[in-house]
Amino acid sequence: MSSAFSVQLSAAAVGRRGQLAQAAEGFGPLYGILLGALVLACGIGLIMLQLRYGRLRRRRAVLVSSAAVVITSVLAGMTVSHGSGRPEAGTPGVPVLRTAEAGAQRVPVLVVPNRPGFNLVGIAADDAAAGTDPARLTSGRRYSGSERTWVGVTLDSGDQRLYLSVNGTPASLDVDTGGEPAAVSATLRGADGPECASAALGALLAGSERPWSSCPADRLTAADAGMLRSTVRFLAKRGARTVALRADDSPRDRAAATVVREAAAREKMTVVAPGEGAPPLIVVTGWAAAEAQVEEVGTGRVKAGGTYLAPWLLSPPVLGPSAGQIIPLRYDPRGPAAERYLSALSRRFPGEVPSAAGYEAWQRQSGGDFAPALMYAAAEVYIPGMPAHEHGGADWLTSGMITAVSGPLKQPSP
């Protein structure tokens, strides 16, 4: 080994530090120590062979070669240990999706919006807590429509460490919130927070690196308003003269209720509360209220001639109960694009259920197009004597079908 080659070896080791750190993500500091020791042992062995066969005769060459081996060993060990102990915090002010090391567990963690102020932290564990002080962590909770544990955490500006407890095992992540507070805190604090986080997750899965500044429940989109009008017209054409309406109190849901009432008035239909007779039921709430409502219909506590869901309610917990769910969608939830979203969700945030908000954010970020709206019916499939078939990974229904039951819906004028 020549002294020039030894110097080149050290330079190459320095130049590949980022690649080593990336490759070592998920290993602990012990891995770095072992790797450094291995590199050192190999280097010493190589020098001994060179000495034995007379390749190194000058004292200076021996010293340079030895120094190069030691430097390379130290850099390798430090790089791997540093890379595994404090991974990159990500783009400042952009939602974070990364894996935390909790002992032997590798746990996906989502931080939305990753801005100064209130943040919603989703942890893929049944028992989890989070906070900025390891001695004072806030316990998480479950929300309807999600399989994750969610924790509200107030973060400061800039680079900082987020501490976690995952099924009783400590872990941590480094985050950088930037310097500008978010404008989505009010929605994140409530029952619609997980839907907002699901939309941010969908955009992240498609490669978004932009700050997250709004939540789906903040407003009613023109597309969703059009599909609600189409739902009322769909029912009117089938002879319905009365519809029941279940609304919620978010800005989107209040606006949606107004759209339904105005559309019903144009069709000369009466709007009543759920449980007044058994007319078709239109649900324009968030996930939690919608899940409770379809369970009431499914168990017979509330009578309804079919349950017509708002387009943002494509969510497994809302589709599961047998309540005659029908939903207008501008995409096929069994189509190739939706399957790619489901695959990305299973890979990056395993165990989480898909959502309309997540898929639509993924589709917009991916540059995909939406199609004319169709009515889709969702139903669990059960054959007596046959075991239930469950799809692997994320799915809209674990043992059911979502099938188009109409042609393209005409969009009535507002």
Mean pLDDT of the chain: 82
pLDDT at residue 382, rounded to an integer: 54
- Residue 390 pLDDT exceeds 50: no
d(CA 234, CA 240): 9
Of 72-81, 178-187, 302-311, 317-326, the one with minimum mean pLDDT is 72-81
Phi/psi at 102 (5° precision): -120, 85
- Residue 230 pLDDT exceeds 70: yes
> Where does the pLDDT of residue 186 fall: very low under 50, low under 70, confident under 90, or very high at 90 and above?
confident
> Where does the pLDDT of residue 58 fall: very low under 50, low under 70, confident under 90, or very high at 90 and above?
low
- Which positions ≥6 away from 230 have C-beta within 8 Å? 328, 373, 409, 410, 411, 412
Q: What is the pLDDT of residues 252-263, one digit of tens each?
A: 999 999 999 999
* CB burial readout 309-339, b (16+ within 10 A) else e: bbbbbbbbbbbbbbbbbbbbbbbbbbeebbe
> Where does the pLDDT of residue 183 fall: very low under 50, low under 70, confident under 90, or very high at 90 and above?
confident
Q: Is 401:373 a contact under the CB 8 Å cutoff?
A: no
d(CA 378, CA 384): 19
d(CA 243, CA 278): 9
Return the percentage of the chain with pLDDT > 90, whole number. 67
Pairing of strands 159-166, 128-131: antiparallel
- Residue 28 pLDDT exceeds 60: no
Report DSSP letters for 192-256, one per residue.
THHHHHHHHHHHHHTT--SPP---GGG---HHHHHHHHHHHHHHHHTT--EEEEEE-SSHHHHHH
> Where does the pLDDT of residue 297 fall: very low under 50, low under 70, confident under 90, or very high at 90 and above?
very high
d(CA 311, CA 223): 9
- Residue 152 pLDDT exceeds 50: yes
pLDDT at residue 24, rounded to an integer: 39
- The SS3 assignment for 163 reads strand
d(CA 143, CA 191): 7
Q: Per the structure block, which two tokens stand in for 170?
A: 């400590």
Query: Average of pLDDT values for 282-295?
Result: 96
3-state DSSP percent of the chain in helix, strand and coil, to 5: 40, 20, 40
- Reported as type and span, the H/E element at residue 344 is helix 336-348
pLDDT at residue 41, rounded to an integer: 59
- Residue 42 pLDDT exceeds 80: no
d(CA 152, CA 162): 12
d(CA 287, CA 251): 14
Q: What is the pLDDT of residues 299-341, one digit of tens each?
A: 999 999 999 999 999 999 999 999 999 999 999 999 999 999 9
Domains of the chain: 3-85 (no CATH), 96-218 (no CATH), 222-330+372-404 (3.40.50.2300)
pLDDT at residue 181, rounded to an integer: 84
Query: Taking the CA of residue 246 as centre, how many other CA atoms within 13 Å lie in the half-sphere pointing to its CB?
Result: 27
Beta partners for 33? none
d(CA 166, CA 107): 8
Phi/psi at 362 (5° precision): -60, -45
Q: What is the pLDDT of residues 103-131, one digit of tens each?
A: 999 999 999 999 999 999 999 999 999 99
- Residue 21 pLDDT exceeds 50: no
